[in-house]
Amino acid sequence: MSMTMSQKILAAHAQQDEVRAGQLIMADLDLVLGNDITAPVAITEFAKFGVDRVFDTKKVALVPDHFTPNKDIKAAQQCKKMREFATEKEIENYFEIGQMGIEHALLPEQGLVNAGDLIIGADSHTCTYGALGAFSTGVGSTDMAGGMATGKAWFKVPSALRFHLTGSFAPWVSGKDLILHIIGMIGVDGALYRSMEFTGPGVESLSIDDRFTVCNMAIEAGAKNGIFPVDDIALSYLEEHCSRKPVIFAADEDAEYEQTYEIDLSKIRPTVSFPHLPDNTRTIDEVGEVKIDQVVIGSCTNGRISDLRVAAKILAGKKVNPHVRAIVFPATQEIYLQAMDEGLLKIFVQAGAVVSTPTCGPCLGGHMGILADGERAVATTNRNFVGRMGHVGSEVYLASPAVAAASALTGYITNPETIEEN
């Protein structure tokens, strides 16, 4: 029987020759992830198992990234609970402030993700790691507790949608525009319960950072996971970061897909999601005049080095509009250092932007950039739900780093093609 790439990874981890869509399986996990919001709940649930230790001290990752550096006393208590658990259970992959980064940028960078892995994380954007050919999916805290205690989780084997990519992007177009375009096309539940598998000759034109961004937002179409084939670009990233030998799974040629979408990358325009759903997309040509108060560049979606390079290219030698607050968040300490070495941080500060330590803070309206009533932000983040970045009367427009940086200069949502480079 033929299988999709996602189904093959699930079958291998359930010790079965084959699985079919709809089948319920119990599978072995390579990594279980939690953060300072979800892990404290999981730790309380873990205690109910009555076991002394986690299933494997190397295969649990705890990252205090959401409300850190601790935003208030309650957040500090939550982080303390996680820190004490990590110490007591001798969890090797606990990342304290200083080594911490936004979890979905940090874990691949630290070599904790390998091609062929099966990963659950108590964070919905855990689907990011499909960029490296892993099956990774978001779960809740009780699943995380179960994973930490047993090394297993139950899955309903998903059917899949195929996105067959051809061509390559025009200048200033990136993975963010591609995934926003796709979500706009299929809707926020367009891939509900399913895998999104990306294939075709266009894949090779996508950088690994583009692929992380695309897989990161698979959840915004309701998908269980997003996944790319393991090619030379993925292998070269893995070789640099992961000490384990990659395990390569590929979809069968006659694998069944519920639907195939043909996408010519050269036709994708810079794309913006208007409030209050990621599928409410318009191309930059259809945006009109939208005045903004804040720009956020960063997050697990777009806080990687290539994102910062694009933003810096646009901001270099220019000034952020005086009516705009621009906030830049490198996603990890390593990216922060690299951006420092490349002179990007200096460009941001000289342009009048704020550079923050890595944190999820503003993306989910936690801290470090909350919006007031009636304010609008252009953000390279992943959600624009009601109240997502602050006041229930505020608005978030999702866009690429190029659109966000261009908008920071003008004070309106702006096409990066119209900015003259210095």
Partner 1 sequence: MKAEGTVFRYEDNVDTDVIIPARYLNTSDPQELAAHCMEDIDADFINQVKPGDIMVANKNFGCGSSREHAPLAIKTAGISCVIASSFARIFYRNSINIGLPILECPEAIAGISAGDRLSVDFDSGVITNVTTGSSWTAEPFPPFIQHMIQSEGLINYLKQEVLS
Residues near partner 1, by CB under 8 A: 24, 26, 37-38, 40-41, 44-45, 48-51, 66-67, 71-72, 74-75, 78, 121-124, 126, 138-143, 145-146, 149-150, 152, 154, 188-189, 192-193, 219, 222, 224, 277, 364-366, 383, 385-388, 392
Token pair belonging to 119: 């990963």
Q: Which amino acid is at 350?
A: Q
Cβ neighbors of 142 (< 8 A, separation 6 or more) are 41, 42, 45
Phi and psi at residue 363, to the nearest 5°? -55, -40
Which is closer to partner 1, CB of 50 or CB of 288? Answer: 50
C-beta of 386: minimal distance to partner 1 in Å?
A: 6
CB 145 within 8 Å of CB 49:
yes
CA-angle at 92, arms to 86 and 96, nearest 5°: 60
Which is closer to partner 1, CB of 84 or CB of 189? Answer: 189
C-beta of 378: minimal distance to partner 1 in Å?
A: 18
Distance CA 413, CA 410 (A): 8
Question: Which DSSP category does 322 fall into?
Answer: T
In terms of phi and psi (left: phi > 0; alpha: psi -120 to 50; beta: otherwise), the region of 413 is: beta
Which is closer to partner 1, CB of 153 or CB of 251? Answer: 153
C-beta of 147: minimal distance to partner 1 in Å?
A: 9
Distance CA 14, CA 189 (A): 27
Which is closer to partner 1, CB of 145 or CB of 404? Answer: 145
CB 411 within 8 Å of CB 321:
yes
Which is closer to partner 1, CB of 176 or CB of 388? Answer: 388
CB 58 within 8 Å of CB 161:
no
C-beta of 232: minimal distance to partner 1 in Å?
A: 32
Phi and psi at residue 335, to the nearest 5°? -65, -40
C-beta of 213: minimal distance to partner 1 in Å?
A: 18
Which is closer to partner 1, CB of 139 or CB of 311? Answer: 139
Cα separations in angstroms, 417 against 270, 305, 378:
9, 21, 17
Which is closer to partner 1, CB of 1 or CB of 51? Answer: 51
Which is closer to partner 1, CB of 289 or CB of 392? Answer: 392
R_g of the chain computed on alpha carbons: 20
C-beta of 307: minimal distance to partner 1 in Å?
A: 22
C-beta of 238: minimal distance to partner 1 in Å?
A: 26
C-beta of 124: minimal distance to partner 1 in Å?
A: 4
Distance CA 404, CA 22 (A): 40
Question: Which DSSP category does 129 fall into?
Answer: G
Half-sphere exposure of 309 (CA within 13 A, CB side): 10
